[in-house]
Amino acid sequence: MVWIKSQIQDSSMNTSGVANNVYDELRSGQKLARLVNVISPGKISQKAIDGAKMTFKQMELINKFTDVCKSLGVPDHECFATVDLYEQQNMNQVITCLAALMRKFGLGPKEATKNEREFTEEQMKAGQTVIGLQMGTNRGASQAGMSFGKARHIVD
């Protein structure tokens, strides 16, 4: 929230990280739209931002924000659906999306890079002979002393 406030230069914005505050501040979509225009100037007209008084227009602004996030490289699984914010259904996903967007600008933890590994055919075959401990072990297994129920009595 502090990052958004500094980007859109809104001194009246409450930067408390409480979920209800995030919801109250961002629900209209206007602050998100202003953030979009700071990141990618001209993506959303000022008229559209100022005229977003009705539910449909506010939800449209939120949707435009997520579209811009995706175009900047934020993965789909880190973006949120419009109703997640507008109806306060999944505020954690909203925060995740904002954090992912901040990562694109060098703020927050660094994104992971691909670490591909090459194995020889010999290494692959050696790995197939190992029994992982997730499958359990039969060490110490014995049937000594096992009895299930009563013994069967056959009477002639």
The pLDDT profile of the chain, 156 residues, written as one tens digit per residue, is 888 888 888 888 888 888 888 899 999 999 999 998 998 888 888 888 888 788 999 999 999 999 999 999 999 999 999 999 999 999 999 999 999 999 988 887 888 888 999 999 999 998 888 777 766 776 776 767 666 767 777 776
Helix (H, G, I), strand (E, B) or coil at 29: coil
Distance set, CA 146 to CA 140, 141, 142, 149, 150 (Å):
14, 11, 9, 10, 12
Q: Which two tokens stand for residue 103?
A: 């990562």
**Torsion sign, CA atoms 80, 81, 86, 92:** negative
pLDDT of res. 50:
87
pLDDT of res. 108:
77
Q: Which residues touch 22 (CB under 8 Å, ≥6 apart)?
A: 1, 91, 94, 95
pTM over 0.75: no
